[in-house]
Amino acid sequence: MLKPTLYARAKACFGPVIRVTYGKSEVFNPITVLEADETDAWYESGNGDACVGWPAAGVEIAIRGEAGELAAAGDSGEIMIRAQHMMTGYRTADGFDPLAPDEFHDTGDLGYLDPQGRLHLTGRTADVIKSGGYKITPEEVERLLAPALQSSEVAVVGIPSEYWGEVILAAIERPPPGWEQRIATVVQNMTDYKRPRLMIALDELPRNGIGKVLRSAIRADVLSRFRITEGPRPRLEPRE
């Protein structure tokens, strides 16, 4: 997803010429498109979430809730797609596993369709944090924290906890001076179950070859260097 801070840096370098597309390796052409002028208008509006535009030609998008029901406009759920230019199936160890001709593909992404029919991404099903009986996507917490961190990037992950199920941890890359106080003010105004209860500053967030932040690597690094104290106010304690 194209975060507002990254869009601002790209626009400063190249101007308002950035077009957003959403795609998957299972689909040969873009699934959705947001043209450059629409992209600029969206990010200038300060809405914050990841609008990736309208379905491309030959693409159908459905949003399904946890029980498999079709979600209404504005309601988040799992993104399902059907396209003329989609793969016909998977090759597995047991041979070829074809998709039914009219079958929707489960993308593993979460999002919603707005009243105009544009798709918005809200996260990945694999990244959803289950804390205190609630489900939270890291991206929604990151969007709330980002304004307090100026150009620093933040990544949110779940850390295993017997008390919480998972504790929400925010990892901040090269945070600016005074970030603790600014973050504390933001967190105080957040819905309680979305609040990160652990914070850590890193020189650099781990990324893969295309620049995507690796949440699993952040989690592994934290757990290798710290113990998590259990209870309503968890803390990070260095391992000896």
Which has the minimum average pLDDT: 44-53, 158-167, 169-178? 44-53
Measured CA distances, 196 to 141, 157, 161 (Å):
8, 9, 13
**pLDDT for position 129:** 96
Over residues 185-225, the pLDDT tens digits come to 999 999 999 999 999 999 999 999 988 899 999 999 999 99
- In angstroms, the CA 237 to CA 159 distance is 14
**pLDDT for position 132:** 94
**pLDDT for position 171:** 96
Over residues 15-43, the pLDDT tens digits come to 999 999 999 988 889 999 999 999 999 99
Over residues 89-145, the pLDDT tens digits come to 889 999 998 888 788 888 999 999 999 999 999 999 999 999 999 999 999 999 999
**Domain map (residue ranges) of the chain:** 4-122, 128-238
- List helix spans (H) across the chain: 4-14, 36-44, 138-145, 179-188, 215-225
Top CATH class of 4-122 equals mainly beta
**pLDDT for position 2:** 83
Segment 67-90 mean pLDDT? 90
When pLDDT is cut at 50, 70 and 90, the band that residue 84 belongs to is: confident
Contacting residues for 102 by C-beta, under 8 A, at least 6 apart: 82
DSSP string of 3-21, one letter each residue: -HHHHHHHHHHH-S-PPEE
**Res. 48: pLDDT tops 80:** no
- In angstroms, the CA 238 to CA 240 distance is 6
When pLDDT is cut at 50, 70 and 90, the band that residue 5 belongs to is: confident
**pLDDT for position 88:** 86
Residue among 182, 118, 114 at smallest CA distance from 146:
182
Q: The domain 128-238: what is its CATH number?
A: 3.30.300.30
